[in-house]
Structure 1
Amino acid sequence: MGRVALVTGGTRGIGAACSKGLKDAGYSVAATYAGNDDAANAFKKETGIPVFKWDVGDYQACEQGVAAVENEVGPIDVLVNNAGISRDATLHKMTEEQWNQVIRTNLDSVFNVSRQVINGMRERGFGRIISISSINGQQGMMGLSNYCAAKAGMIGFTRAIALEGARKGITANAIAPGYVATELLANVPEKVMDHIVGQIPVGRLGEAEEVARCVVFLAADESAWITGTTLTINGGQLSD
């Protein structure tokens, strides 16, 4: 049996591209989603990848969800922490709910799901934990203090667990994409989008598939000496 991979938020955007990329590379893949049943069912029909619905911000739901995945697909060798949302506001206007929603979904989820798979990885002597951070977790962005805090926290978490897993055959790495053409940017005003693209040296947004190729690279058995790092992929906009 080949390696098993779980992608959180794996039915749309970057997550969907990661799920497909891993399947094409020979992994048995499962994808989680939070609420869009129509998109998840369409993704499952298109790809044949099983989908599992639960709130990754809920620890108990993650316990039950990961158990269901492992029962149906197999023990998880590769975890891609991709689930994320945005609730944008400047700090003086941000509500407690906006802060908590983003931290819960984007950062708490990384602990919640990683905690469920780490013991199995340690016992089997192999694991890959790959967390999708962001350029905004590296440089910050006005109006995104909640999102930036969560994405920066993912990088710190990754560095710590990389040290913990190093002698157990487990690697932990983050990927920090720049601006990628996904639904998160769909409602950005044209003038703002022009400004964003103007700051990217290669002159375009990234594609979700470009991020997915990085995930497949880091997930490989052959990438065992790469751990505790953040792979920056942003068209030259920011150097790590």
Structure 2
Amino acid sequence: MKPSHEGRVAIVTGAARGIGQAIAIQLAERGARLVLLDREAAHETAALISSETLIATADVSSPADWERIDQQVRARFGRTDIVVNNAGIGAPKAIDDLDYATWQRMFRINLDSHFFSAKQFVPQMRSNGWGRFVNISSNSIGLAITGMSHYMASKMGVIGFVRGLANDVADSGITVNAILPAITNTRLTQDMPEEAKRQTWQHQAIKRFAEPSDIAGSVCFLTSDDAAFITGQALPVDGGQYKIS
């Protein structure tokens, strides 16, 4: 059986570490050629991948940077088949302290970047008759967490954008889906007190933190031909924490 992503070219944003790194590694293991996109060059991730990679730096909130990345990818690989919009920020700030500049920055990085990637890559995916977008949202939108109104709004916006875009491109062989990860065991959560971790696990069916590889496996499925009839969906990958009603 040939690898599920053989011959595909995949862009992963936020690929230098954490969830993005795990996504890139697993896509490469399945045969994809990777574009490792981050603010800093993702050399560490590239060293963990045996297939051909393109290391690129960019500000995902800049349309000009997306155009430049497209040109670089075309020059190296000829096309883009898969875009995983993983890059994001999430610093908490209570509404009393939340200023408009912080609100705008959250949306530029967590949501506007997804729009820019679609504007850049949908036309060539249409021409090729195949494409996959997977946009990372968050299961926090269904949880009682304070100080995260700007973050939750941006991540809920991801779901709305995914569902709308899926309708626009469905006749072109392109699927668009969102993944809602739980709090994941990355560098950002390493310093969380054990008690805080246990309180998180109490609300999950699976009593542990998500690992980056847990999220990556779901991305690999949604970007494969096996998921060709799945689009416009928001998939929680959180050990059974987020109960959809």
Fold in common (TM above 0.5): yes
Q: Which runs of 5+ in 2 are unaligned?
A: 1-5
2:38 to 33, 39, 43: 33
Count of residue correspondences: 237
Query: Counterparts of 1:188 and 1:56 in 2: how far apart (Å)?
Result: 28
Q: In the TM superposition, what is the alpha-carbon distance from 1:217 to its structure 2 partner?
A: 0.5
The corresponding residue for 2:45 is 43
Q: Which runs of 5+ in 1 are unaligned?
A: none
Query: Counterparts of 2:166 and 2:44 in 1: how far apart (Å)?
Result: 35
Q: Please tell me the residue identity of whatever aligns with 1:228.
A: G
TM norm structure 1? 0.93
The corresponding residue for 2:223 is 219
Q: In the TM superposition, what is the alpha-carbon distance from 1:220 to its structure 2 partner?
A: 0.7
Output aligned runs, 1:56-205, within 5 Å: 56-139=60-143, 141-205=145-209
Closer/same/farther in 2, CA of residues 119 and 138 from structure 1, 3 Å limit? farther
**Cα RMSD over matched residues?**
1.6
Query: Counterparts of 1:134 and 1:26 in 2: how far apart (Å)?
Result: 27
Shifted more, 179-188 versus 112-121: the winner is: 179-188
Q: Are the aligned partners of 1:130 and 1:172 in contact in 2 as well (CA < 8 Å)? A: yes
Q: Are the aligned partners of 1:87 and 1:98 in contact in 2 as well (CA < 8 Å)? A: no
What do the CA deviations read for 1:164-206 (whole angstroms, capped 9, x no partner)? Answer: 1111111111111112111232343444333222222211101
Percent sequence identity over aligned pairs: 34
Q: In the TM superposition, what is the alpha-carbon distance from 1:140 to its structure 2 partner?
A: 5.7
Q: In the TM superposition, what is the alpha-carbon distance from 1:61 to its structure 2 partner?
A: 1.2
Q: Are the aligned partners of 1:30 and 1:73 in contact in 2 as well (CA < 8 Å)? A: no
* Runs of 4 or more consecutive aligned structure 1 residues displaced over 6 Å after TM superposition: none
Query: Counterparts of 2:182 and 2:93 in 1: how far apart (Å)?
Result: 20
1:9 to 10, 14, 23: 14
TM norm structure 2? 0.91
Q: Are the aligned partners of 1:181 and 1:207 in contact in 2 as well (CA < 8 Å)? A: yes
